[in-house]
Amino acid sequence: MEKIAATDGVRMPLTSLSHDEQILRDSVRKFAQNKIAPLVREMDEAQKVHPSLLPQMFEMGILGMETPEQYGGFSGSFLESILVVEEISAVDPAIGVLVDVQNTLTVNALLRWGSEEQKAKYLPRTNTDTICSYALSEAGSGSDAFSLKAHARPDGDAYVLNGRKLWISNAAEAGLFIVFATVDPSAGYKGITAFIIERDTPGFQVGKKEDKLGIRASSTCELLLDDCRLPATSVLGFPGKGYKIAIETLNEGRIGIAAQMLGLAQGAWNHAARYSQERQQFGKSIATFQAVQFTLAEMATEIEAARLMVYNAARMRDAGLNFVKEAAMAKYFVSTVAERVASQAVEIFGGYGFVKDYPVEKLYRDAKIGKIYEGTSNMQLATISKLLLTG
């Protein structure tokens, strides 16, 4: 598979793709349009992923994009995983975020921090039949991500976990969880440790599923830890290094969320452009009116700028460059663009855009979460300003 050269040239934000990247993009786009699109409304109303989709996505390899072939994965680049999230999200951002959490957060953390034994045990499963979930957030630790109350008490050669996690994506479907808890509260963030927990572990339970505004097919649940006993071999990385694991994976995850919002914006534009040529008013299509033309042009320009930022951040990550600022900029900007473009798409549809018979109503609801999860827009601005002012 042709890879992008790791040179200083990756700093140039290009949307051109290699031949292999184009093939991957087109394959995922076809799958999303043919297999996911007919189920979008049903999944949104049922608030769950259709059971037919997960086996197909495992079969395609898009739930193990960066996993090496030795573990049964695709051995793709980070950019390729971003392309997958973008194309699926253009059809359904709820399925897009399921794929994103699997690749950019959980599997990524296992690849970087897992022991050889942990990789050999879990990665073949995450590529074939096991959805993963990433559990950091709690009731009192949203933007203040490391003020955790979940506690892991050392007990001989094991740890006993107690606490509660909230707003955990993929939790309803997941068979494997990366859960963050503090081993030593007096050490602050340096006491935080990441644990690998299998779903059927005694003392571990998936709790209430949230009834959300948007991305409703994507499950968001609480996790309950009640004297959950784990062997020391369940620690991911090293005790006290959970904060570092979280920071590194969330920096990459922000590019994934930006890709989700990019796909959403492109999907909303596609629907609006198509409808504008079908809708007749005053004896002609509304696409012939300059106001509609200018709105579509502005939407398309913002989407293209967003795509440049997302691809550039992904390529910098693939090249081993520092991409933290670019990831924060992409997440902040693209989530703003997605919300605005989805809103404009609803307006182009007029009254039809406000009802569930047409897809832009759902995309508008889905867009709101982009400014909230994996770092609010205000937190992205804080990160950007800090990095700019410190050089």
Distance CA 167, CA 170 (A): 10
The two tokens of residue 364 are 């508008």
Query: Tokens at residue 168, please?
Result: 């955990």
List all residues 6 or more positions away from 385 whose beta carbon is below 8 Å from its beta carbon: none
Structure tokens at 18: 């290699």
Known active-site residue 374: yes
Q: Which of 66, 86, 326, 374 is catalytic?
A: 374
In the chain, the amino acid numbered 193 is: T
Distance, CA of 66 to CA of 185 (rounded, Å): 34
Question: What is the C-alpha to C-alpha distance for residues 374 and 370, in angstroms, rounded to an integer?
Answer: 8
Q: Which amino acid is at 61?
A: G
Instruction: Give the count of alpha carbons within 13 A of 126, CB side only.
Output: 36
SS (H, E, C) 223-271: EEEEEEEEEHHHEECCCCCHHHHHHHHHHHHHHHHHHHHHHHHHHHHHH
DSSP 242: H
Three-class SS of residue 271? helix
211: left (phi over 0), alpha (psi -120 to 50) or beta: beta
Tokens describing residue 215? 């991305």
φ and ψ at 194, to 5 degrees? -100, 135
Strands in 183-294 per DSSP E = 192-198, 204-209, 220-231, 235-236, 280-281, 284-285
Show which residues are catalytic. 374
